[in-house]
Structure 1
Amino acid sequence: MANDLERVRIDISRYEDRCAKLENVLLSPELRPELREKLETQLNLLLGNLVEFRKKENLKEAQELQDRSAAAAAAGPGPASLGAGDAAAGLGSHSAAAAAAVACPGPETVAAPGLGTAAAPGSGTAAISAPFSSADATARFLRSIMLPTAAPGASELRQLFQNLLKHKDNQPVKLPVHAWVYDVVGLADGSMLDLLEPEAQSQAWALSVLVSSALHPSAQLHDDLGDELSVAGRVDELFGRVLSLMARYMGGGPLKRKRNCTEQSLTAHLKRPNFMVLLRNALLFKGEDKPASGTLGSAKEDLLTKVQGWSSAYHGQIEYLLCYACAGDKFELLYLLRDDDTKLYHLLSSDTYTPRGKITVIQAAILVYGIISQQQHQLPADAQLMNSLPRGYGSVLLQPHSVVKTMEWTRHLNQGGMQLDDLQQLYTAVRGSSYVIHASEGPAVMRGSYRVTLEPRGQPLQDSWCPDSSEELALAIRCILMGVQAIHAAHFGHTDLRWPNIIKLTRGAFRVIDLELAVPLDSLQRHRKEDVDMPAVWEGGAALVDGRFTAASDLYLVGRMLQRMLSKMPPWDPALEGARQLAEGLVSKAFSMEQALQHVWLRLPLGELRTTVLGVV
């Protein structure tokens, strides 16, 4: 019997792996409709087989415990009678009633061939599940749950997670489980029946497989939570698989779960796998796992270190990042504010060992999905935070917190690009500026390819960008001038100042990017090769001073940026009169950098935002 049970468990593990792989494939937004339909059919068949194997496992475990109990009774009191206690202990309880129910089914129950223990009529014991071939109502069940219809504010989060989930008819949500699991869990702790129901009531078979697997009496007996990967695996079972199930049945967007350290991600350089969830390729959920030997405090400290850069990536109107920390069986759900990345805020605590703790985590996962599926609507329309984009004669890999820029080095040099040692010197020089992009790795050239990893990840401003107000425009121009000032302090000129070469961060901060075309200040540009066109932004050489690229040349480019932006804004707005005067002074090369930064339009009070970000008085 033991060998039969082990074979069934091997089959279950194999089917679970296949289901997980198919789930991840189905989350791809690029999947062709006809292929998606075939894969969904295949997944449903696999889930059906998985349910049947779970039923076989239940039957064989019950039979094995019954055989052990009979052997114990024949041998008299002794160690052999511990089998029932093992089952109860697997539920986090030492309930003798639960143990007896598993080990010694009473006369009121009968064995249903191929299905497990079924209830006799009128026995009061939940009947065994209907076959998986019945219509799966998981989608209907999940859609009946009352979830946010818009992203809640940070001030609403704690109240949301303190309340139990409810259906839209205001009835509490009871998660479906296999009837056998329902009986055993209920006998161990009768109050758990307020949180569960036999799967036959809702016919949410797919969700029932997931919840039953988590609550199975032997589930935690196979884990060694002294191992970090086991902790990660348990959280995946309770949290990750719920998110995947929600994404597949709710259709809230192309969710991606990642734990693979070798994937292109912000955690690729770490030794340990970390949990993260992306929607529309934006990082909206993050986790940190520690073994039982670690503390929840240390897990939260590591988590905070890894998510602090999140706010530097432009996520539109998203106000917070949901996240978790887990050490052994201690689990805590938290969030990080976009405008304060110095601390994590508590939402709920639970454990991943007891059935009640597991249900708390599963319900939290359902609510988390409901929130992040609404947060995706707050992302910028053109958010592409994890894609490789072609750019000129190179490419840009956009990651959640950074950008990896590559290009053909020889072609870069032939186009008048900067030498590598000069680029390294420039990136080093501007590292202390809050107004210029930073190089976290590189720049370097290997096998003919230039590569540099840049931080922070912001939102590039396209030519179509228009500020919300004259105050925001003034803030942007001041940030640009401060960035150019840092470049000039290193004795280089940017040469390619355009709105697409500016990124917007949180709190209205802006940074100058794309330093690869910089040149030494006051360098003669008439000697450029005949086959190399003068940059269009120089406007036929109008930006140059006696054929040289000077500090005034960059200021000319900033003035033209300002003039182009003013052409999109109401000409009668008196708040913009100072902006027009500044633009004319820059384009005419009448203003130095110091004069520009002291211009009255940039010195006007811009509100609390400007004071906070720039320290302007």
Structure 2
Amino acid sequence: MRKRPDFLCWLDNVLLFKGEERAEEADLQDAIAALASKMPSTWHPELLPGVAKPVMLAYAAAGDVLQFFSVHNKSGRIKVDPISSRCDLGTPLGRAQALHGTFNIVRLLASYKPGAPRVPVALGGVVKATGALGEPIRAVTFYEEFAEKCIYNFEERHAGVNDFGLLVVGGSELYTNTTLAQCPNLARLHTPDAIRLSDTTLVLHLVPAAGVPQRGPPSDEARLQQAVRGVLAGIEALHSAGFVHRDIRWDNVIWVPGAAPGAAGTFVLIDLEHAARADSAQDCRQPPFPLAPWPEVGILDPADGRYTPASDLCLVAHCLLTDLPFKLSAGGADLRRALAARELDARGALAHEWLAGV
């Protein structure tokens, strides 16, 4: 069953109005039931802990019949209450009633907008990436329980770079590795079998279901320390399990707020699809490498061009600890230098004095 409503309307990423549609009038009750089961929340609960949610507005349509509803949580149960009579769209009066109800919905949405909270990720929203010619590359749809990531033409587009077998086959592999699945600083599957190759598209259901995207470095050093510690914890788990990430950059880091107001949040390293085995003998000086975030020199093994665990840490230095909006302290600069010089492994980096007490 589709988990996304047929119609969605957001204000500043707050899902305030949705609709379910059926072809036959006899299926109206099915459409009403779907209003309760499909995305009954206005935003992901973990994004704004403790913030009261508004009542969601909705409609159900089946054949020529349309009716408006409110959707709200009452004592842990989703309630769908009618706020209009049934409108017969086959008659002029019914169409006028539907139009009047729509205008009222618009007025209610407009009155809510000035006080609406800022939600970083829209529940039910879809983020798409396209290539130079407009061809689809990937899409991420945000559901309540997970984020569905689709990578189109996976085997063809990522031939020589990615290994589908590494991602899914066998209990000791990447997303199915039980140790990695328990690391809070790494993206992980919603369920052990939530990855598949559908025709040519790689489909993954991932958690955390939503987080605050990090489009660049934090604005202050204390926040940077928290982010780097979270990323290094994810890297250390990967390296301990025998993998390297290979695509470490701010676009692949999200922040998940704590479960309650004032609780500590978690920085999570996502996008494991470019990962590889740490002992891979592949010479990454040859096409189809390098990957986009790699600097021109300095991260590959100088002897044979392999991408090693030290290469991940070089990326931390190059992509996370440079081009900052502030001057890095002496401790942070020392960690950056040590990572770029391959003097520390991930565990040693976590023990660096710059991260003490973070």
Structure 2 length-normalised TM: 0.66
Change (3 A) 1:559 1:421: same
Residue 435 of structure 1 aligns to a residue whose secondary structure is coil
Q: Is 1:472 the counterpart of 2:216 in the alignment?
A: no
User: Partner of 1:452 in structure 2?
Assistant: 204
Aligned equivalent of 1:439? 189
Deviation at 1:379?
4.0
Mapped contact 1:478–1:602 kept (Cα < 8 A): yes
Deviations 1:223-256 (A, max 9, x none): xxxxxxxxxxxxxxxxxxxxxxxxxxxxxxxxxx
Contact (CA 8 Å) 1:318, 1:375: kept in 2 or not?
no
Q: 341, 346, 349: which one pairs with 1:593? A: 346
Distance 1:283 1:427, change over 3 A: farther
Shift of 1:457: 2.6
Alignment of 1:1-150 (within 5 A): none
Q: Which amino acid aligns with 2:222?
A: E
User: Which one of 304, 313, 322 corresponds to residue 54 of structure 2?
Assistant: 322
CA deviations on 1:566-610 (whole Å, 9 max, x unpaired) are 3x2145xxxx332212211211111122221122222235xxxxx
Match of 2:156 in 1: 411
Change (3 A) 1:278 1:309: closer
Selected match of 2:10 from 278, 281, 284? 278
| Cα distance in 1, alignment partners of residues 340 and 8 from structure 2 | 47
AA matched with 1:558:
V
Of 285, 302, 310, the residue aligned with 1:552 is: 310
Aligned-partner residue type, residue 446 of structure 1 = S
Question: CA separation in 1, counterparts of 2:84 and 2:271?
Answer: 53
1:398 paired to 2:154 = no
Q: How big is each residue's C-alpha offset from its partner over 1:319-375, in whole Å with a ceiling of 9 and x where there is no partner?
A: 4433479xxxxx88559xxxxxxx8699xx9976999xxxxxxxx979963564235
The SS at the match of 2:268 is: strand
Question: Where do 1:353-372 residues align within 5 Å?
Answer: 369=109, 372=112
Does the Cα contact within 8 Å between 1:480 and 1:512 map onto a contact in 2?
Answer: yes
Letter in 1 for 2:109: Y
Indicate the residue corresponding to 1:310 in structure 2. 44
Amino acid at match of 2:291: P
Equivalent residues of 2:124, 2:143 under 8 A apart: no
CA separation in 2, counterparts of 1:420 and 1:474? 33
Aligned to 2:165: 421
More strand by share: 2
Q: Corresponding residue for 1:389?
A: 129
Please state how far the C-alpha of 1:304 moved relative to its aligned partner.
Answer: 12
- Determine the structure 2 residue equivalent to 1:6: none
| Higher RCO structure, 1 or 2 (CA under 8 Å, sep 6+) | 2
Query: Which amino acid in 2 is paired with 1:374?
Result: P
Match of 2:281 in 1: 524
Distance 1:461 1:475, change over 3 A: same
Shift of 1:540: 3.6
| Structure with the greater alpha carbon radius of gyration | 1
* Aligned-partner Cα distance in 1 for 2:113–2:149: 28
- 3-state SS, counterpart of residue 537 of structure 1: coil
Structure 1 match to 2:269: 512
Q: Which residue of structure 2 aligns with residue 130 of structure 1?
A: none
Q: For 2:352 and 2:336, how far apart are their aligned partners in 1? A: 11
Q: Distance in 2 between matches of 1:420 and 1:354?
A: 51
Q: How far did 1:497 drift?
A: 0.7
2:233 is the counterpart of 1:489: no
Q: Distance between the aligned counterparts of 2:73 and 2:197, measured in 1? A: 41
The alpha-carbon deviation at position 426 of structure 1 amounts to 0.9
Q: Structure 1 residue 535 and structure 2 residue 291: aligned? A: yes
Counterpart CA distance in 1 for 2:165 and 2:121 is 38
Shift in Å, 1:494: 0.4
The C-alpha deviation readout for 1:95-141, integer Å capped at 9, x for no partner, is: xxxxxxxxxxxxxxxxxxxxxxxxxxxxxxxxxxxxxxxxxxxxxxx
1:461 aligns with 2:205: no
Kindly provide the amino acid, as one letter, of the partner of residue 600 in structure 1.
Answer: E
Supply the distance in 2 between the matched residues of 1:350 and 1:500 (Cα, whole angstroms): 38
* Partners of 1:452 and 1:482 in 2: CA distance: 23
Which sections of structure 2, spanning at least 5 residues, go unmatched?
20-35, 58-69, 86-103, 259-264
CA contact (8 A) 1:285 1:322 kept: no
Contact 1:493/1:520, CA 8 A, preserved across alignment: yes
2:250–2:320 CA contact under 8 A, matched in 1: no
Q: Percent identity?
A: 23
**Number of aligned pairs?**
301
After superposition, what is the alpha-carbon deviation per residue over 1:460-500, rounded to whole angstroms, capped at 9, x for unaligned? 322xx241322111111111111112222331100111111
- What RMSD, in angstroms, separates the aligned Cα atoms of the two structures? 4.7
- The residue identity in structure 1 corresponding to 2:140 is L
Q: Normalising by structure 1, report the TM-score.
A: 0.40
Contact 1:275 1:286 in 2 (8 A): yes
Aligned pair in 2 of structure 1 residues 274, 320: CA closer, same or farther (>3 Å)? Answer: farther
Cα–Cα, structure 1 residues 600 and 308, in superposed 2: closer, same or farther, change >3 Å?
farther
Q: Evaluate the alpha carbon distance shift between residue 595 and residue 304 of structure 1 in structure 2; reply closer, same or farther with a 3 A threshold.
A: farther
Q: Distance in 2 between matches of 1:418 and 1:398?
A: 22
Work out whether residues 150 and 201 of structure 2, in 8 Å CA contact, stay in contact via their aligned partners in 1. no
Q: Would the aligned equivalents of 1:444 and 1:451 in 2 still touch at CA under 8 Å?
A: yes
Q: Is the Cα–Cα contact under 8 Å of residues 417 and 516 in structure 1 kept in the other structure?
A: no
- Matched residue of 1:474: which SS? helix
2:61 paired residue number: none
1:352-405: per-residue Cα shift (whole Å, max 9, x none)? 6999xxxxxxxx979963564235572459999334332687221333542422
**Higher helix proportion:** 1
Gaps of 5+ in 1: 1-260, 288-301, 326-330, 336-342, 356-363, 606-617
State the shift of 1:537 in Å.
3.4
Query: Whole-Å Cα distance in 2 between the matches of residues 525 and 305 of structure 1?
Result: 44
Q: Could you tell which deviates more after superposition, 429-438 or 579-588?
A: 429-438
For 1:213-228, list aligned pairs within 5 A.
none
